[in-house]
Amino acid sequence: MSWAWLDSLRETIGQPQFTLLFAPAAKFLVAIVVILLIIAYLVFVERRLLGFLQVRLGPNRVGPWGLLQPIADILKLLIKEDTIPNRAVRWAYLLAPCLVVAPAFVIFSVVPFGPSPNAPGAPRWYVTDLDAAIIFVVALASLGIYGIILGGWSSNNKFSLLGGLRSAAQMVSYEVPQGLALVGPLMLAGSMSLVGIVESQAQRGLWFAVPQIVAFFIYFVAGVAETNRNPFDLPEAESELVAGFHTEYSGVRFALFFLGEYANMIVISAIAVTVFLGGWLRPFPSIEALAFLDLIPGAVWFFLKVFAFLFLFIWFRGTFPRFRFDQLMALGWKWLIPLALANLMVTGLLVVLLNGRT
């Protein structure tokens, strides 16, 4: 038995080209798997938590405490009949779910999950560190809109059409305050790379949510609107449009839309945590007395903060009525954009005036 192939494999892995090409791909795969698991159990946690908010128990029959429920749901969706409406526009109908899911996952390639040790060649907690990561994130988030519009229009259903159009208008309008809100921390950090922003927060010893509280609020509200979640969930308002743009989808395609929505939720939370809440930093990084909290690894802090945001998403869903469409647009254009611009001006002014001290 010759083990020569194993030796040659070891040799191949050791070469620098491998680290350059294959290591990021492997990390990306790991990130996707982790995120998929989180999404599956996020659906379960949402149903349970919504139940608890609504004075009832959520699903708790399948497996101990209902923990196998996501697996049952996935299996069910996989074996469902794949229907395509009679006069649907086929290529758009088939493409739409993919356009919603893919950008959400790709964004995770620039998010730093944990602290990066300074030694070169050591494994990093991010897939890649782009210099213009923020622009990359905002650009990819915009791609998700195409999926929704195509899905709503191609279904040959008036309700879906209305849902798709509403969603398109909503998402396009809320992209602007979202982007503007992100510029504030950019100015404070002086770098567009997400890793750089977290490093800058570590340097100051202050989460950017403190000086940029208005931008934080705007980003979060715009984020809730971007993901079509309550109180901005008109596009999929069950009581008005049956299921909005994904009325006609069933089985795996519906699962993909669903997956895309929850992936977007996690993306918004992850970016909010990275830019405003210090990423993998502990709370109050400047206070030495709390240095013992550093025992908890940075990645754990990151995920704890992301889960806190997801809890907020679910809490909002359980509490608020939804905005009507024109009120939603009015909120975005008449309130959030001027507020974001004002925040931008004030931040810019302060950065210039205190340029020695910041």
Partner 1 sequence: MNGNAPTGEPLFGLREMELNFGPQHPATHGVMRLKLKVDGERIVDCYPIIGYLHRGTEKLFELHPFFQNVPHTDRLDYVAAATNNLAYVGAVEKLVGLVVPPRARYIRVILAELQRISSHLVWLATHAIDIGAMTPFFYCFRERELILDLFEQYCGARLTLNSMRPGGQPYDLPQGWVERCGEFIAEFPAKVDEYEDLLTENRIWKRRTVGIGVLPPETAIAYGVTGPMLRGSGVDWDLRKALPYEAYGEVEFDVPVFHNCDTYDRYLVRIEEMRQSARIIRQCLDRLPDGPIMAKRPRVLKAAAATEAYHAVEGPKGELGFYIVGDGSTNPYRCHVRPTSFMNLQALPEMSRGALISDLVALIGTVDIVLGEIDR
Partner 2 sequence: MSALKQFLDRLLLLDLFAGLAVTGRHLFRRKVTVQYPEDRLEPADRFRGMLRLDSERCIKCTLCARDCPLDIIYIDWHQETNPETGKKEKVLDRFDIDIQRCMFCGLCEEACPTEPKSIWLTTKTYELASYDRWQNLYVTMEQLESWRVRPSYTDEEVA
Which residues contact partner 2 by CB under 8 A?
Answer: 51-57, 315-316, 318-320
Q: How far is the CB of 61 from partner 2 (least distance, A)?
A: 9
Residue 53 or residue 176: which is nearer to partner 2 going by CB? 53
Burial of 65 (0-12, 13-18, 19+ CB in 10 A): middle
Instruction: Pick the closer one to partner 2 by CB: 22 or 320.
Output: 320
The answer for 279, left when phi > 0, alpha when psi is -120 to 50, beta otherwise, is left
Alpha helices in the chain (DSSP H): 4-14, 16-53, 69-78, 90-107, 133-154, 158-189, 194-204, 213-226, 238-241, 251-276, 298-319, 325-330, 337-353
Q: Which of 100, 127, 91, 93 is nearest to 111 (CA)?
A: 127
Contact partner, 173, from partner 1, partner 2, none, Cβ < 5-8 Å per class: none
Contact with partner 1 (CB under 8 A) among 6, 55, 79, 295 = 55
As measured in angstroms, the least distance from the Cβ of 165 to partner 1 is 9
Q: Is 321 in the site for partner 1 (CB under 8 A)?
A: yes
Q: Supply 308's token pair.
A: 């806190």
Task: Tell me the closest approach of the beta carbon of residue 52 to partner 2, in angstroms.
Answer: 5
C-beta of 18 vs 320, nearer to partner 1: 320
Using CB under 8 A as the binding rule, whether residue 222 contacts partner 1 is answered as no
Within 192-211, which residues bind partner 1 (CB under 8 A)?
none
Q: Which does 31 bind (CB under 5 to 8 A by kind): partner 1, partner 2, none?
A: none
- Nearer CB in complex with partner 2: 8/54: 54
What one-letter code names the amino acid at 299?
Answer: A
Shortest reach from residue 320's CB to partner 2, in Å: 7
User: Minimum Å distance from CB 178 to partner 1?
Assistant: 20
**Sequence-separated (6 or more) residues with CB below 8 Å from residue 48:** 57, 58, 59, 60, 66
Q: To 10 degrees, what angle do helices 16-53 and 69-78 make?
A: 110
Asked if 19 is part of the footprint of partner 1 (rule: CB under 8 A), the reply reads no
What's the angle, vertex CA 263, arms to CA 217 and CA 215, rounded to 5? 15
Q: What is the CA radius of gyration of the chain?
A: 22
The angle formed by the CA atoms of residues 75, 76 and 81, to the nearest 5 degrees, is: 120
- Residue 237 sits in the site that holds partner 1 (CB under 8 A): yes
**Which stretch in 30-38, 76-84, 290-298, 318-326 sits in contact with partner 1 by CB under 8 A?**
318-326
Question: Residue 315 binds which one of partner 2, partner 1, none, with CB within 5 to 8 A depending on kind?
Answer: partner 2
Q: Which residues bind partner 1 (CB under 8 A)?
A: 50, 53-56, 158-159, 162, 166, 230-231, 233-234, 237-242, 317-327
